[in-house]
Amino acid sequence: MKEGGPQAARELLDGARRVAVLTGAGMSAESGVPTFRDAQTGLWSQFDAVQLASPEGFRADPALVWRWYAWRREMVAKAAPNEGHRALARAQAEGRFESLHVVTQNVDGLHQRAGSADVIELHGNIVRSRCLAECGVAYAQPQDLPSGEPPRCPACGDWLRPDVVWFGELLDPDSLRAAEETCAGADVLLVVGTSGLVYPAAALPTAARRAGVRVIIVNPHLSEIDPAAHLVVRGTAARVLPALLGGEPESPAR
């Protein structure tokens, strides 16, 4: 692993036909979307993670959990894709590479709102809801979701729950398999804004490197997966990705 700038990363990207991108919470930080832990402020600081994001916590107090996610959905709705999201979508739309696929741990849907297609969502999407009993009924739009007590599934009568992966739950096997194949089948894997602490997503860069993929990490901070990288670029998504993929980065905050 070595550190370098956008030029060094562009050199690794030169000649790449297939590019995979794995994004984490840092990808959306510049859009004003807090991490799960950072969102536990004010009223929500008195509750632990299991109360707010587990099947057990939901069944114990469905209204509490539903209000927590309604509050977070409001924050996501007010956020906008940043220049990093837009740079990825633009590179995909313009055919900068033979293929460019995004795998994300984020649940905010900002990649899709920026224009990225076929995004693999490892942890679900906060604006969707699905039946707690897994009967297949789902709501896809925020306007369908009341902010008070969760609605009942019209098919079976159980609660509807946020369509995200909670503590103690496994990732959707099809999404995980698609992510593994996408990352290991790329020429270059860009890993953007992830701490490398959440598994199994954190294992994807190491597995990709073992498969012969060139790994570039973009992160302003040290991460647990830095040793898996061929190159680490210190910087944020909104500043670095436009420089790597074309377009103008945002001006520094004043």
| 123 given a catalytic annotation | yes
- Domains of the chain, each with CATH number or no CATH: 2-32+81-123+171-245 (3.40.50.1220), 36-78+127-164 (3.30.1600.10)
pTM: 0.91
140 vs 228, higher pLDDT:
228
Provide the sign of the torsion angle of the four alpha carbons 75, 115, 161, 199, taken in this order: negative
More confident residue, 192 or 50: 192
167: amino acid identity, one letter: F
Q: Cα(25)–Cα(253) distance, rounded to whole angstroms?
A: 19
Q: Which of 176, 230, 166 is nearest to 203 (CA)?
A: 176
In the predicted model, what is the mean pLDDT of the chain?
90
Helices (H) and strands (E) in the chain, counts: 11, 10
Q: Which of 25-29, 37-41, 73-77, 138-142 has the lowest mean pLDDT?
A: 138-142
Cα 90 to Cα 79: distance, rounded to the nearest angstrom: 19
Strand order in the sheet with 99-104: 2-4, 231-233, 214-218, 188-192, 18-23, 99-104, 120-121
Q: 74, 80, 73, 48: which is closest to 61 by C-alpha? A: 48
For residues 169 and 198, what is the distance between their CA atoms, to the nearest angstrom? 13
Instruction: Tell me the helix, strand and coil percentages in the chain, rounded to 5.
Output: 40, 20, 40
Q: 85, 111, 123, 230: which one is catalytic? A: 123
**pLDDT tens, residue by residue, 114-126:** 999 999 999 999 9
* Whether the predicted pLDDT of 234 surpasses 60: yes
Q: State residue 145's pLDDT score.
A: 56
Q: Tell me, what's the pLDDT at 165?
A: 96
Tokens 């009924």 -> residue = 137
Residues 6+ apart with CB under 8 A from 114: 81, 85, 86, 88, 89
Q: In sequence order, what are the beta bridge partners of 124? A: 164
pLDDT tens string 52-63 = 999 999 999 999
Give the pLDDT confidence score for residue 28 in this predicted structure.
Answer: 95
Per-residue pLDDT tens digits for 209-223? 999 999 999 999 999
Question: Which pLDDT value is given to residue 141?
Answer: 58
Quick check: 139 pLDDT over 80?
no
| The pLDDT of residue 200 is above 90 | yes
Choice among 26-30, 69-73, 99-103, 152-156 with the minimum mean pLDDT:
152-156
Whether residue 77 is predicted with pLDDT greater than 70 in this model: the reply is yes
pLDDT at 184: 98
Specify the pLDDT at position 23.
Answer: 98
> Best-predicted range by mean pLDDT among 1-5, 12-16, 38-42, 235-239?
235-239
Spatial contact of 26 and 194, defined as CB atoms under 8 Å apart: yes
